[in-house]
Amino acid sequence: MTIKLLQGDCLDVMQDIELGSIDMVLTDPPYGMAYKSGWSGASVAMDGTRMCLRMYKKALPVLVDLMAENAHFYFFTRWDVWPDIADMLSPYIPVKNALIWDKGHPGMGDLKSYGYSYEMIAFASKGKRALIGGRPGNIFKHNPVPNAKRLHPTEKPSALLEEFILRSTNEGDTVLDPFMGSASVGEVCKKLNRNFIGIELDKKYFQIAQDRISAV
Ligand SMILES: C[S@@+](CC[C@H](N)C(=O)[O-])C[C@H]1O[C@@H](n2cnc3c(N)ncnc32)[C@H](O)[C@@H]1O
């Protein structure tokens, strides 16, 4: 089993990954919140989202090229950018479903509107890879990581990631997360004997990712 953690901009770093070598992409990209930090204006957050979407337009075709002939693709997204993501993906890979992570209770957000108690994941499939273990529904209920235990503000729970990895890969397959944050995906891969390639731009989170993987 190989675990490779790479620090840098995924648009640059992905150039060094062998084409067709990835059996699963599982990633939770930024949607502009980083650009928002330190600011309170919604327009600043929107600019951040637009900048991220522009980056995905470049990154998505590269990601699909890195995928093997038969491979699955999971991309965390939000209801308001879902049409953009689905439109960007469709020319390169068939989008099969919107998966729902049901968090059980609403998180923070606009207090005058309904709370967000779910996240969406775009599921796409290259070639004819089948899901392992039958055909589940598209709603997955898992508690979020408690605030006090989070290594990253948008950390995803390992039970949810494990479910996706077990359904889409076998032992020895390679999983890529180009926006790995604290390496929650990498940790599960190491535990499940999958190869992992993770890329992170932010040096602080890269260090956290390295520490997390060493601790497994
Ligand atoms: C939503 S977070 C992922 C959190 C992760 N799911 C976890 O559980 O820790 C997205 C991450 O992508 C990183 N990032 C943003 N732009 C990037 C880029 N161009 N290349 C690589 N990483 C990037 C951010 O620093 C952030 O840590």
- Regarding the beta carbon of 28 and ligand 1, being less than 6 Å apart is answered yes
State whether the beta carbon of 152 lies less than 6 angstroms from ligand 1: yes
Q: State in Å: Cα 29 to ligand 1 middle.
A: 6
184-192 and 203-215 helices, crossing angle to 10°: 20
CB atoms within 10 A of CB 18: 8
Which pLDDT belongs to residue 45? 53
Q: Is 74 in contact with 164 (CB distance < 8 Å)?
A: yes
Q: Quick check: 54 and 84 in contact, CB under 8 A?
A: no
Ligand 1 atom 1 nearest Cα: 30
CA 201 to centroid of ligand 1, rounded, Å = 7
Task: Tell me, using a 6 A CB cutoff, whether residue 74 lines ligand 1.
Answer: no
Beta strands 118-126; 95-102: pairing state: antiparallel
Supply the pLDDT for residue 178. 97
Q: Where are the domains of the chain?
A: 3-215
For residue 202 and ligand 1, the question of a CB distance below 6 A is answered with yes
Ligand 1 nearest atom to the CA of residue 156, by list position:
8
Separation of CA 19 and ligand 1 centre (Å): 22
154 lines ligand 1 (CB under 6 A): yes
Main-chain phi, psi angles of 172, to 5 degrees? 90, -10
CATH topology of domain 3-215: Rossmann fold (3.40.50)
User: Ligand 1 atom closest to Cα of 184?
Assistant: 8
Rounded CA-CA distance 37/39 in Å is: 5
In angstroms, what is the span from residue 184 Cα to ligand 1's centroid?
Answer: 11
The predicted pLDDT at position 34 comes to 45
Going from the C-alpha of 166 to that of each of 13, 41, 98, 131, 187, the distances in angstroms are 26, 41, 18, 9, 14
| H or E element, residue 42 | helix 42-66
Q: What is the pLDDT of residue 38?
A: 43
Determine the residue of 201, 203, 204, 207 to mutate for testing ligand 1's pocket, defined as the one with the most ligand atoms within 8 A of the Cβ atom.
Answer: 201
- Fill in the amino acid letter for 101: W
Adjacency order of strands within the sheet including 174-177: 3-7, 195-200, 174-177, 22-27, 67-77, 118-126, 95-102, 139-141
Any ligand 1 atom below 6 A from CB of 80: no
Q: What are the helix (H) ranges across 90-202?
A: 158-168, 184-192
Which residue has its alpha carbon closest to ligand 1 atom 4?
181
Q: Count the alpha carbons within 13 Å of 72 in the hemisphere toward its beta carbon.
A: 20
Tens-binned pLDDT, residue by residue, of the chain (216 aa): 999 999 999 999 999 999 999 999 999 999 875 444 444 455 555 568 888 999 999 999 999 999 999 999 999 999 999 999 999 999 999 999 999 999 998 887 788 889 989 999 999 999 999 999 999 999 999 999 999 999 999 999 999 999 999 999 999 999 999 999 999 999 999 999 999 999 999 999 999 999 999 999
